[in-house]
């Protein structure tokens, strides 16, 4: 059975400088694809030639204040060899678009729709890129770092909050300051009696 390092090496061998050297963290490997326009090509190779037949997850990240602002992470798994590999690609805020991989893995359809809905990252060539969690016409992208934690007012009564959601000081909101991270962690707090 191949290891993730061996398969990462084969991916690098096939694409050269387009794919970075693998970065290891906690026993998992991440390869960064340098050209977002070629992500579909890299993913197709990973599936057909390396046996990564399952896209476990695709997630977008807002890496503000870094430039490029967006990162999209592809969690790949091979059901035959039981190897996990992560691909990462970065795109600028000005572009905010990369090619879809839904032609490689059908499961990418909903994952890409969620990344679009929550962050505004667009996927060119996607068969049905529309909101999946928020309602049609919602003007914001709630997982962007510049989106207020308390939410924004809505003009659609009975569809969602008509005023900002009352999260401030709630059980899932971290507390600024404190002597250490344990005090700031929401799970550490218990409701006062």
Does the residue 143 lie in any domain?
no
Q: Minimal CA–CA distance to 122: which of 93, 92, 90, 96?
A: 96
Specify the number of domains making up the chain: 2
Residues 115 and 157 in one domain: no
- Cα–Cα dist 190/193, whole Å: 9
User: Does the structure show a pLDDT above 60 at 134?
Assistant: yes
Q: Percent of the chain having pLDDT more than 70? A: 80
Backbone angles phi, psi at 186, to 5 degrees: -60, -35
Band of residue 89 on the pLDDT scale cut at 50, 70, 90: very high
pLDDT band at 92 (very low <50, low <70, confident <90, very high): very high
Q: Is pLDDT above 50 for 193?
A: no
pTM of this prediction exceeds 0.85: no
User: For 136-167, how does the pLDDT look when each residue is reduced to its tens digit (9 = 90+)?
Assistant: 888 889 999 988 877 777 666 555 555 555 55
What is the predicted pLDDT for the residue at 155?
A: 66
Domain span at residue 57 reads 4-138
The verdict on 92 and 185 lying in the same domain is no
Q: Is residue 22 part of a domain?
A: yes
pLDDT digits 0-9 by tens, 166-190:
555 555 566 666 677 666 666 555 5
Which band of pLDDT confidence, cut at 50, 70 and 90, is reported for residue 4? Answer: very high
Tell me if 123 sits within 8 A of 116, measured CB to CB: yes
Q: Identify whether residues 65 and 18 lie together within a single domain.
A: yes
């Amino acid at each position: 059975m191949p290891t993730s390092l061996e398969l990462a090496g084969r991916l690098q061998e096939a694409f050269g400088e387009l794919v970075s050297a693998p970065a290891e963290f906690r026993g998992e490997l991440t390869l960064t694809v340098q050209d977002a326009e070629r992500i579909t090509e890299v993913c197709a190779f990973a599936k057909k030639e390396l046996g990564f037949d399952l896209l476990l997850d695709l997630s977008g990240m807002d890496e503000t204040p870094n430039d490029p602002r967006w990162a999209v992470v592809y969690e790949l798994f091979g059901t035959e060899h039981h190897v996990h590999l992560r691909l990462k690609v970065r795109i600028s805020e000005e572009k905010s678009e990369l090619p879809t991989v839904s032609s490689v893995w059908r499961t990418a359809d909903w994952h890409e729709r969620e990344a679009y809905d929550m962050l505004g990252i667009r996927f060119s060539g996607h068969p049905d890129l529309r909101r999946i969690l928020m309602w049609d016409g919602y003007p914001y992208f709630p997982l962007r770092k510049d989106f207020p934690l308390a939410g924004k007012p809505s003009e659609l009564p009975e569809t969602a909050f008509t005023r900002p959601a009352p999260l401030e000081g709630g059980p899932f909101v971290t507390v600024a300051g404190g002597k250490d991270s344990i005090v700031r962690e929401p799970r550490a707090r218990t409701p006062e009696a």
